[in-house]
């Protein structure tokens, strides 16, 4: 909370909501052998594959907003579990392409169903997944996510007169 505001700041509320939803998704997909982060990866991969793409780890990292190193770690764990395949990209030997295995597709379809039901419940206060308030909320979140973030250096005695 900030000094000037009588209630929680938007940043604090976004953080709280993200944590609440992350915990809920974790609990929902645990019976399928997934964590929330793994679910985000396989669900995104599922959507990309359905549109004909076989993304690299880097492309999937960009799509999900996860760090490339973290995607690599998740991909190795999912490969060990038999849910995805990691292969060298024939066009770029440094890149690793990802694809869901048949088992991965089945688990991912189940997980997507479970999470869709959960989202319906979580969004019920706005009228549910298909409600106009949910569409407005989603549009507002997209506006915030699409805004570029300019990193600034605090202007104090240690940084004045320096170029970062």
Distance of alpha carbon 141 from alpha carbon 144, whole angstroms: 5
pLDDT in tens, 106-122: 999 999 999 999 999 99
For tokens 């996860």, what's the residue?
66
Q: Which residues 6+ apart lie within 8 Å of 119 measured at CB?
A: 129
Look at residue 150 in the predicted model and tell me its pLDDT.
81
Asked if residue 43 lies in contact with residue 114, where contact means CB atoms within 8 angstroms, the answer is: no
Which stretches of the chain score pLDDT less than 70?
1-5, 152-164
pLDDT in tens, 28-53: 999 999 999 999 999 999 999 999 99
CA terminus-to-terminus distance, the chain: 29
Distance of alpha carbon 12 from alpha carbon 24, whole angstroms: 18
Q: What is the pTM of this model?
A: 0.82
Look at residue 153 in the predicted model and tell me its pLDDT.
60
CA 90 to chain centre: 27
Count the Cβ atoms, other than its own, within 10 Å of residue 106.
13
Look at residue 94 in the predicted model and tell me its pLDDT.
86
């Amino acid at each position: 909370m900030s000094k000037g505001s009588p209630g929680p700041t938007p940043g604090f509320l976004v953080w709280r909501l993200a944590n609440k939803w992350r915990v809920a998704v974790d609990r929902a997909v645990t019976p399928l052998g997934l964590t929330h982060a793994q679910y985000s990866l396989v669900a995104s991969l599922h959507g990309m594959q359905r549109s004909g793409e076989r993304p690299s780890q880097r492309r999937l990292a960009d799509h999900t907003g996860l760090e490339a190193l973290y995607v690599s770690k998740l991909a190795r764990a999912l490969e060990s579990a038999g849910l995805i395949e990691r292969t060298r990209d024939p066009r770029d030997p440094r890149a690793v392409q990802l694809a869901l295995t048949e088992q991965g597709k089945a688990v991912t379809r189940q997980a997507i169903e479970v999470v869709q039901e959960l989202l319906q419940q979580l969004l019920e206060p706005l009228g549910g997944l298909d409600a106009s308030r949910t569409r407005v909320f989603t549009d507002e979140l997209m506006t915030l996510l699409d805004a570029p973030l300019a990193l600034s250096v605090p202007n104090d005695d240690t940084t004045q007169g320096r170029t970062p």
